[in-house]
Structures are given as C-alpha cells and as structure tokens.
Amino acid sequence: MPGPQQRAAALDRLRAMPHWDVLVVGGGASGLGCAVDAAARGYRTLLVERGDFAGGTSSRSTKLIHGGVRYLRQGDLALVRRALVERARLLANAAPLVRPLPFVIPAHSRADLLRFAAGLKLYDLLAGARGVAPSATLGHAQTLAALPGLRDDGVVGGVRYWDAQFDDARLAIALMRSAVDLGATCLNYCAVTGLLKSGGKVRGACLRDAESGETFEAPAAVVVNAAGVYADAVRRLDDAGAMPLLTPSQGAHLVVDAGFLPGDAALLVPETEDGRVLFAIPWLGKVLIGTTDTPRDDLPDDPLPFADEVDFLLRAAGRVLARPPTRADVRSAFAGLRPLLGRPAGATATAALSREHIVHVAGSGLVTVAGGKWTTYRWMAEQVIDRAAAVAGLPPGACVTHGLPLHAAAGDEAGLPGADRRLHPALPWSEATVRFAVRHEAARTVEDVLARRTRACFVDAFAAGEAAVRVGEIIAEELSLSPSRQAALVAAACAQAARCALA
C-alpha cells in the first residue's frame, strides 16, 4: 500500500479501534523495540511518535552495537556481558544493518599495551562463544598499518578487538516495519498530549495528529512511556509532582572525510584530556568522531553541538591523527541527548532497578522505561512488555524476539523511477530511494529523507542542503503536497542542513 494510503489506514484504525492492549509513547529505539515485542506476543499494539521515527536520540548515537569497553573499565561486568549477548543477537537478526567492526587502541608505553591487552582479553572472555573474533596485540608497524591516519608519536603498538557497527536510524525503520509486519499500528507525527484516566488509573491517551490537527482518544489496557529524555514530561501528564528519573547529557559528533582515517578499522583513544573515551570510526565512507558528555536540561528537539564541544573534538582528534582536522573539514556535526538515569528518587517499591535502565511502574499503572542504550533495546523491551502485560492483566505471552529476524534492512527500490539518478554527486542515494522512503518507510518530510531514510545530512550536510529542493519535488509528487507545504519542507530541511554544516 503506498505511503499516503498507509497513513490514512493507520488513522482510520485509530478512529475505529475501541481498545488497544498496549499503547507505546515514543518512536525511538526503546519504543519501537517495545512495539515489536508487544505485537509479536499478539497484543493489539499502537505506537505513536510526535516527530519522525528515530528523530530524537536514536538517530544521533555513535552507531556502535557494543559491550562497552568503557563499562569494562568501570568494572560493570554484568552490563558488558548482557550487551555482548545482545550484540550477538543483533548481528544474527539484523544483518547487514549491524556488522562487525575492528577497533584498534594505540598504546604509547609498554605498560599501557599490557593493560589494554589484558582488558580486551577479559572482553573476549565475557563474549565467550558469541565473540566476533579474539583480540590481538599488534606491534608498532602493524598498528600503523591498521590505522593509516594515526599520528606516529611514540606509539609502541596497539590492541585490536572487535565490536559491531550499525546505522541507527535505518535500524529504527527496520524495527518500525517489523512491528507493522506483526500487526502493530505505528504512526509518526502523532503526539500524546494527555492521558486518559479513571479511578486513578491510566486508561489510554489523548493524541494529536500533527499534520491535520485532528485529535483522538485511544483507550488502552496499558500505556508504555518510552519517550527518551522526555519520559519525565510524559510522567508529569500522569502525576504533576512526579520526581525526575533522568539526568540528560548531550553527546556531540563531527563527521570528516575518510582521508583523515583511511582503512577499515576504528580508532579508540581510551583517555582524552578530560578522561573521556574518543572514537574515530569509519562510517558510510566518512569518519565519525565523538563524543562528549555535557549535562543539559533544556531538552531541545534538535540539539546542536556547543562551540566548546566542537573545539574539544577537533583538539582531541588532532592529537592522535597525522592530519589534524579543522572546523573547515567538518562535513557534518550533530548532537544527541542521552537519557541517563539520575538518582531514582521517584522509585517506588514497584520499580525494577538496574545499573543501565529502569522499568518504573507508577501507582496509576503507567509503565515508564528510562535509560539504557541502543545495544540493549531488545532486552529492555522484553522486560517492559513482561511488566506491562502483568500490570494490565493481559493474557501472558512469551517474548519471541531473541531469534526474530528484523524486516529486511534495505529497501527494494528496483523498478521505481529514478534508480539511476543520484540525488547529488557527493551522495550515494538515488531519487528512487526518496520514492521508496515515502511509499514504504513512512517518510513525510524532506528532513525525514535527508536525515533518517538516507543519512545525507549526517555524512555531508552541504550536499544534503543542495539536494533538498529535488527531494522536495519528489515528495510533493508522491504525497500530492501544495506548493506552499513543499516550500516549507524544503526550507526546514535546508535550515537543518545549515545547522549541521556549522554554518
């Protein structure tokens, strides 16, 4: 069914459905994972996202499916082991969107080399039979060969280990399509504006379609709040005095040309000037450099790197790369807000706490999932839907997502017009990609296509800005948009591209 009809059918279901089993708020990794899990158990599932799927943090990550060498250093072995289990599942269920990636940690002293090698052997042990490949100690020449862009100033050797890389927004779309395949209704540009309550219990939600302004009431046995850094705001719709669960923190990335770190391996610097880990990772023909950790509580929808974050990343990269990148080399800059758990002051006896995420059940029955990371979304969703089903008294159903292959990662664009016409000489995507995104992946705006169905805005914001007009023409054709709506979508996408280009 073409895109416009799909959305119309989903809105019709909203109007007609007398009662949902599970209503999920938020279309990022956490919410989409919950929708897949709930639908796979046979529950009537509705997911609503007020912007685009993965428009929040879930398209702005470092794009690693990893155990987390950082957590290893912190001694959180259980967390690392769990993430490594989920890494293996994702490599099996979401290939080729998730793929193995070698990392090299350069060492500048023998003591560091031994320390890194021992740490990564422990990482291997924790992965056990699910490991991608064992870590290995490299000599000086091997380290420089593995990382051709590395600055050779006192490097004595390095350690190579394996983790996995993914395309976060594309995995989100694969999850959305998997949920729909399983019978769920998933709607972007549809916000939860209030909660339906009776007898002190949450009985559903009030929704607003951002495109038409139409409002709906969606009764549901249980509401799952998976609103990322906005989860506390959704909790306040239930209880105005709810204590915050989250302490958001911004992380920024810069994207530069592949020439700064040619080759297939990623570089990990275990300690920068302020003790943070720095990654430089080959991604979609570019190099992704990140990240930072800056507390931020104003929660903008489209956070941008602060000037001092850009300076820090350029300085830190310049210390380890033979050719230090400058601001003029940045092809794109982006930031995301981590939903980090704060002190669980609002936790009650019904809260199930863990080091990385929390599943919180309010007295009203509102189920909130907060914290966690992309890598563990499936495991989180399993726990959330177990709790949600119990809270709502739904017939118990076993989680089946452990071995569930996700919807095919890439779109089949063959046969669509424009397969042989590139959107821009510097971008690998074609005009057919845009049509496919609108018809089959719920893209509604120029920005949806440039930022999340393709990753143009993230890999080359300059080229993305230049492609916006053509993308707008194709979307207008596909969705029969008015000239004024088309112009507004192009203008919004150009403005976003300019922000990512640090203009």
Residues of the shown chain interacting with ligand FAD in the complex, contacts defined by CB under 6 A: 25-31, 48-51, 55-58, 60-64, 191-192, 226-230, 234, 251, 291, 336-339, 372-375
Q: Minimum distance between the CB of residue 462 and ligand FAD, rounded to whole angstroms? A: 22
Q: Which is nearer to ligand FAD, 56 or 472 (CB)?
A: 56
Q: Residue 383: which of 365, 364, 361 has the closest Cα?
A: 361
Contact residues for 416 (Cβ-Cβ < 8 A; gap 6+): 432, 435, 436, 439
Q: Which is nearer to ligand FAD, 26 or 365 (CB)?
A: 26
Q: Which is nearer to ligand FAD, 57 or 383 (CB)?
A: 57
The three-point CA angle 22-27-29 to 5° equals 100
Q: Which amino acid is at 183?
A: G
Q: Which is nearer to ligand FAD, 191 or 502 (CB)?
A: 191
Strands 20-25, 266-269: pairing kind: unpaired
Q: Minimum distance between the CB of residue 61 and ligand FAD, rounded to whole angstroms? A: 3
Q: Which is nearer to ligand FAD, 223 or 432 (CB)?
A: 223
Give the separation between CA 12 and CA 185, rounded to whole angstroms. Answer: 11
Q: Residue 493: which of 463, 467, 466, 468 has the closest Cα?
A: 468
Q: Which is nearer to ligand FAD, 114 or 492 (CB)?
A: 492
Q: Minimum distance between the CB of residue 165 and ligand FAD, rounded to whole angstroms? A: 9
Q: Minimum distance between the CB of residue 32 and ligand FAD, rounded to whole angstroms? A: 7
Give the separation between CA 443 and CA 410, rounded to whole angstroms. Answer: 15
Give the separation between CA 501 and CA 438, rounded to whole angstroms. Answer: 25
Secondary structure percentages of the chain, helix, strand, coil, to 5:
40, 25, 35
Helix axes 3-16, 461-479, angle to 10 degrees: 70
Q: Which is nearer to ligand FAD, 375 or 401 (CB)?
A: 375
Q: Minimum distance between the CB of residue 230 and ligand FAD, rounded to whole angstroms? A: 4
Q: Minimum distance between the CB of residue 313 and ligand FAD, rounded to whole angstroms? A: 12
Do residues 245 and 370 touch, judged by C-beta distance below 8 A? Answer: yes
Give the separation between CA 165 and CA 350, rounded to whole angstroms. Answer: 35
For residue 419, CA distances in Å to 137, 262, 416, 447 come to: 45, 29, 6, 20
Q: Minimum distance between the CB of residue 315 and ligand FAD, rounded to whole angstroms? A: 18
Do residues 17 and 44 touch, judged by C-beta distance below 8 A? Answer: yes
Q: Which amino acid is at 380?
A: M
Q: Residue 410: which of 94, 184, 101, 185 has the closest Cα?
A: 94
Q: Which is nearer to ligand FAD, 63 or 378 (CB)?
A: 63
Q: Which is nearer to ligand FAD, 114 or 351 (CB)?
A: 351
Q: Minimum distance between the CB of residue 430 and ligand FAD, rounded to whole angstroms? A: 27
**DSSP state for residue 182 in the 8-state scheme:** T
> How is residue 273 written in tokens?
């000037």
Helix axes 377-392, 29-40, angle to 10 degrees: 60
Q: Minimum distance between the CB of residue 252 and ligand FAD, rounded to whole angstroms? A: 7
Do residues 291 and 244 touch, judged by C-beta distance below 8 A? Answer: no
Q: Minimum distance between the CB of residue 5 and ligand FAD, rounded to whole angstroms? A: 23
Do residues 350 and 367 touch, judged by C-beta distance below 8 A? Answer: no
Do residues 290 and 255 touch, judged by C-beta distance below 8 A? Answer: no
Q: Minimum distance between the CB of residue 117 and ligand FAD, rounded to whole angstroms? A: 23
Block residue for tokens 């009776």: 198
**DSSP state for residue 366 in the 8-state scheme:** -
215 C-beta neighbours (distance < 10 Å), count: 11
> How is residue 235 written in tokens?
């909790």
Q: Minimum distance between the CB of residue 35 and ligand FAD, rounded to whole angstroms? A: 11
Q: Which is nearer to ligand FAD, 234 or 362 (CB)?
A: 234
Q: Which is nearer to ligand FAD, 149 or 248 (CB)?
A: 248
Q: Which is nearer to ligand FAD, 21 or 86 (CB)?
A: 86
Give the separation between CA 384 and CA 366, rounded to whole angstroms. Answer: 11
